[in-house]
Amino acid sequence: MLKRDVMFSGGVDALLLLLLLLRSSPSLPLRCPPARCMSTTRRRIDHLTQSMAGVVQFCQCQPHRCPGLIGPSILDVDKCVLAQECQRSLTAGADYLHLDVMDGHFVPTISFGPSVIANLRASFPSVFLDVHMMVSEPEKFVAQVAVANATGSAGENLLQYLFHIETTEPRGKTQEVIDLVKANGMLVGLALNPATPIEEVLKYSEQVDTVLVMTVVPGKGGQSFMVDMMDKVSAVRQRHAGKFIEVDGGVKPATVEHAAKAGANMIVSGSGVYKAPDMAESISSMRRSVERHGNGLGESELSPLRRDADVAQAAPAAFVNRCVLAG
């Protein structure tokens, strides 16, 4: 039975939902309502069925083997102390850094460019950098971003170039950019906006290392996590059990469970990390959600819940890269 809290406008709808669930169970007899009520009841049940369809689809994915990874978005941190803020989140337990490059065209905001990425690489030689190119012509920046490439101690690639399919597919350049990113030695990710059907990305999903599902509209402030985007996450997870799937926009401890249940394993969070009252607790709780709902781990198997106080008391440790993409 569906285990999910759903709010309805009144007791009648709640009763009809119960009737709908009972009707779907062959082991439970259900007395039909009187004939005079049948048409109204049928309309209400059909309406509820349609409303519940999306919920049922992404309620819970099959357990997958992709690790839960938390990547703080540095977009809104104080750029005067950018390296310090990056280090603060890594010390608190972050697995990678999510870098939003915005050109002022694809989205109205201008953020930073390849030179900042190169500077961050110099400061963090062993950290996975997830570069999210929100630019109109991503092919123009591939070689410049590739300057920041690096290899981990186990030979893993530490740089990913994510671009939006909305910027390349209308120009017939999606395949060209995928090939160009790979030729420059980077991992490649394909992102899509909320209005873009997931089928556009699924045409190329076999070739990319990561699929990024945006859970807000890029470039617009004051938005909440779009839970209806989880159908897209589920569609990718159902097709690719080992694919890394990332969500970005409004994700924090209060909303991450939706993404984890749908099958996402890479969690981008800005305010959920940098504005959290306890950064280490926020990061570890989001990771544990992916492990619990995505990997199917039991309580005793989850990563430990950490708090800022624990981090402050612990001896400094070398950063351990967990971002070994195995799509």
Query: Quick one: tokens of 161?
Result: 């170039």
DSSP summary character for residue 191: E
Q: Are 160 and 129 in contact (CB under 8 A)?
A: yes
**Three-state secondary-structure class, residue 162:** strand
Helices in 24-112 by DSSP H: which ranges? 35-58, 82-91
Q: Which residues contact 203 (CB under 8 A, 6 or more apart)?
A: none
| CA dist., res. 20 & res. 42, Å (int) | 10
> Which residues belong to the active site?
100, 248
DSSP H or E segment with residue 211: strand 210-214
User: For the residues of 239-270, what is the DSSP string, one character each?
Assistant: H-TT-EEEEESS-STTTHHHHHHHT--EEEES
Q: Which residue has the tokens 């996975």?
A: 128
Residue 280's region, left for phi above 0, alpha for psi from -120 to 50, else beta, is alpha
- Give every strand in the sheet of 244-248, ordered side by side: 69-72, 266-269, 244-248, 210-214, 187-192, 159-164, 128-134, 96-102
- Sign, CA dihedral 53-193-78-94, equals positive
Residue in 33, 28, 58 with CA at minimum distance from that of residue 43: 33
